[in-house]
Amino acid sequence: MLFKVVERDTDTHARLGILELNGKRIKTPVLWLGCMLKYKPRPWKFFKVHTIMVNAYEIIEQKIMINSIHKFLDTNGLVMMDSGGFQLMKKNVHVSPTKVLEIYKQTKPDIGVVLDYPLNPLDLNNRMKRWKKTLKNTRFMLENSHDIVLMPVVHGYTLKEIKRACAEIKDIIDPKVVGVGSLVPILKYMKTSTILKLNGMNTIKFMINAISIIRK
């Protein structure tokens, strides 16, 4: 994987760049189109879609047999596969990082997301416990990834938590790519009194500042 910064904003750390991965080249920023594996039509058959995101949870839940995700989707573009951490949390399903790695090795996505545990805004007292489990999975999966490009994920409801999470990820590896996790609950619950009191700022400002910290 190679990422080249073409232009950078010094205030927000926003960047224009070029990502090269597995012989494919795309300009960033880019929108990853979420796709349900068994749903049709395939938008990339009709429009210029070069980046697709799918979910390992679907493969586990529906027992889909896939030897190559690119052949299954019939695409030459980049494919990122999420671990399904959010769906697993919602449905209270346990899947091991070993199982997720097996799926990545079999389906061969361009990027596989580390099995993470999104923070539950209704259970703020246990957020550190969930983050420690994510860190444990991160270390295990990176040590056993072989040639799979894995993306660790940062979680936090305060900028202090985001900074600490970044430091703890860097203690394991200097990652080529990093995901920002817990976005769905952040967007849904940030305006509630508990999280707002923790955070001290509105949703958009928090997300901009969090991404700025991660990009440093």
pLDDT of residue 40: 77
- Provide the pLDDT for residue 206: 79
Contact (CB, 8 A) for 189 and 195: yes
Q: What is the pLDDT of residue 41?
A: 81
The predicted structure's pLDDT at residue 195: 60
Q: How far apart are CA 108 and CA 93, in angstroms?
A: 24
Low-confidence spans in the chain with pLDDT less than 70: 187-202
**C-alpha–C-alpha distance, residues 200 and 198, integer Å:** 6
